[in-house]
A and B are shown apart, each in its own frame.
Chain A
């Protein structure tokens, strides 16, 4: 198929999906922080990162290389944002929820192949899965295993449509294996969990909204989302399971980006940048040393905001990378989770 035709089709697909997804349309805003004597950078990021990325930009503007850099920003669902960049949305720095969204840009030649060849392996922000519950935890949820108990109403973003929702389900699945269960046990567990699902909203944000609207007893979310919700005054509690999955959000500069973009990314991954992320509830990336973890408002314990995880799974080490994960769990025909979801609505 000719490239022109493919681009046309991609464009149409984006226009069409934009029409269908009017709700998830990325919001962009001009944020001219300075007199603009230096260049303007475009940041394209996933919606959850909005507050933190804004904070890092502000901190960056106070450094020498960041002085006078102004920003154009666009936030939206990670997959949509990545497809929009392929479709021609201008981006100098991208910050996505999961690596395949950057890989898509590498395949199109928009991001250099070596983007993840650094100490942090291309990862800019990390978090873990958190179980958000109603104030006081009336159903006494303590672990992933509790989610399968009868009478628990669960809200989780739809792993089919929300790429980032995949973190939650994988963490729950793997916790069964880590406790000595077989793959069949884990699958049976997932069936019980999905029988408890009250709503499968399209994105993480929609799921939070549905939960705040009173649906369900439990919201599967990320630690940073839970902390951010409490910072914004939401009256909820959250539990960080002791066996957990490391959520790794990648960032990269595009091939055509001006040098300031690289400066920004270097700053964001520095100890100082990571401290800003920590303020917004993200765990500092492990390879970065000397991060001065601030007091984090909204955390269960603001002085010690990121409790140690006993057993931390990662996509690369535990599951063998995203392509293996997507083939095994989310394949449209034979994916374990796809099948469990497809069966869940049938009585």
Chain B
């Protein structure tokens, strides 16, 4: 508990204290600043979309990795983790050369909203895959076969057998993916161009406030991000409980 407090609770508490330091006025001013509001909106929307995509595709990838056998599977297992291991700014460089103006695949999304989406997708991909995989490994295929032999359709098996077992893992992965998405900085700054009201994300706004010496405003934005992340985590917890009970 002491360890946890030192690492997490005290820093979090201080950020909240600092955001209150400037008074309610600073908090309100910061959030009603159109540029900051636009950045927060963009960040949360894109992180949400990315999380939904990850939930679907991440689960699929985990499924394929656990249940299917194909050449190169071991290699793929390792590659999945690369977005974890890569320093985000390096990821940003890779993404810029791939999706930028000199794109070898002729896909230039640099400085558009889609660049934020793609960068977030890249860095958050492993979360759902890695949380779902071990649960899927534990799950005995015989249970599904039993369900099928008792006359359950594939969809019913998915709904009544698989999803309830996987949901907590998917929810945990989704929460991680969302939290990472709203706080991401390095991988997208090079590709997104930080255009105000268009591709500027919340972490860049925080940086701007810090540069201007307005720490209270920076902390205010951080607190909003924290609150949104907390809300998402709680919602996903509740959701996974409900689904698990229905199963």
CA–CA, A161 and B200, complex, Å: 12
The answer on a CB contact under 8 Å between B196 and A9 is no
The answer on a CB contact under 8 Å between B189 and A202 is yes
With A22-B87, A215-B100, A215-B101: A209-B207 Cβ-Cβ less than 8 Å: no
**Among B15, B196, B204, B214, contact of A332 (Cβ-Cβ < 8 Å):** B214
The answer on a CB contact under 8 Å between A210 and B211 is no
Interface residues of A in 16-55 (CB under 8 A from B): 16-17, 20-23
**Among A1, A161, A199, A333, contact of B207 (Cβ-Cβ < 8 Å):** A161
Interface residues of A in 132-191 (CB under 8 A from B): 158, 160-163
CA–CA, A201 and B111, complex, Å: 10
CB distance from B18 to the nearest CB of A (A): 5
Interface residues of B in 12-34 (CB under 8 A from A): 14-15, 17-18, 21, 29, 33-34
The answer on a CB contact under 8 Å between A200 and B207 is no
**Among B17, B89, B210, contact of A22 (Cβ-Cβ < 8 Å):** B89
The answer on a CB contact under 8 Å between A202 and B196 is no
CB distance from B189 to the nearest CB of A (A): 5
**Among B34, B101, B185, contact of A213 (Cβ-Cβ < 8 Å):** B101
A12 located at the interface, meaning its Cβ lies under 8 Å from any Cβ of chain B in the complex = yes
**Cβ–Cβ < 8 Å partners of B18 in chain A:** 9, 12-13
With A8-B14, A213-B190, A215-B101: A161-B204 Cβ-Cβ less than 8 Å: yes
CA–CA, A12 and B222, complex, Å: 12
The answer on a CB contact under 8 Å between A16 and B15 is yes
- Using C-beta atoms within 8 Å of the partner chain, give the interface range for chain B: 35 or more
The answer on a CB contact under 8 Å between B218 and A13 is yes
B197 located at the interface, meaning its Cβ lies under 8 Å from any Cβ of chain A in the complex = yes
**Among B29, B87, B193, B198, contact of A215 (Cβ-Cβ < 8 Å):** B193
CA–CA, A96 and B193, complex, Å: 25
**Cβ–Cβ < 8 Å partners of B211 in chain A:** 79, 160-163
CB distance from A226 to the nearest CB of B (A): 20
B144 located at the interface, meaning its Cβ lies under 8 Å from any Cβ of chain A in the complex = no
The answer on a CB contact under 8 Å between B190 and A160 is no
**Cβ–Cβ < 8 Å partners of A214 in chain B:** 100-102, 110
CB distance from A5 to the nearest CB of B (A): 9
A344 located at the interface, meaning its Cβ lies under 8 Å from any Cβ of chain B in the complex = yes
* A-contact 0/1 string along B196-225, CB 8 Å cutoff: 111010011011111110110111001000
The answer on a CB contact under 8 Å between A22 and B200 is no
With A17-B207, A210-B190, A210-B193: A199-B97 Cβ-Cβ less than 8 Å: no
Interface residues of B (CB under 8 A from A): 11, 14-15, 17-18, 21, 29, 33-35, 38, 87-89, 92-93, 96-97, 100-102, 110-111, 183, 185-186, 189-190, 193-198, 200, 203-204, 206-212, 214-215, 217-219, 222
Interface residues of A (CB under 8 A from B): 1, 8-9, 12-13, 15-17, 20-23, 79, 83, 158, 160-163, 197-202, 206, 209-210, 213-215, 330, 332-333, 341-342, 344-346
User: 4 shortest A-B CB distances, which residue pairs?
Assistant: A345-B197, A199-B193, A214-B101, A23-B186
